Amino acid sequence: MRELLALCVKERVLSDPEYNCPICGVELAYFSRYPNYICDLCVSQATDGNGRALVFFNTHMAGGLVAVYSDTNEKRTGHGCFVRGKQCYADAAYMGGIVLEIDA
Ligand SMILES: [Zn+2]
């Protein structure tokens, strides 16, 4: 286990470039799995195409994604959303939680 961890750390140092949120520019950790992900603050500003605020939840512990309009608690289908006018895609993160990536 310790060897595995050391290997991961080494790989991180060697291969990971600097990464900044593609929307607001804040410094973030780089994850090769999510090469275009945006920061939590930007995630909290997600809206649909009409500017209605959206929040995202996991549908169960291991993942799954549901989007809900924060004004009415109405469920919304689909993964597409907008943050500051940029098109993004929401998905359940590999280890649980939510990740939003900018549509490159
Ligand atoms: Zn950001």
Give distance in angstroms: CA of 1 to centre of ligand 1. 34
> Residue 37: its pLDDT value, please?
97
CB 90 within 8 A of CB 79: yes
CA distance linking residue 82 with residue 8, whole number of Å: 33
Q: In which residue ranges of the chain is pLDDT below 70?
A: 1-16
- Is the C-alpha dihedral spanning 40, 46, 18, 31 positive or negative? positive
Per-domain boundaries in the chain: 2-102
Give distance in angstroms: CA of 42 to centre of ligand 1. 4
> Residue 14: its pLDDT value, please?
56
Give distance in angstroms: CA of 84 to centre of ligand 1. 10
Give distance in angstroms: CA of 4 to centre of ligand 1. 31
Reported pTM = 0.79
Give distance in angstroms: CA of 37 to centre of ligand 1. 9
Give distance in angstroms: CA of 81 to centre of ligand 1. 15
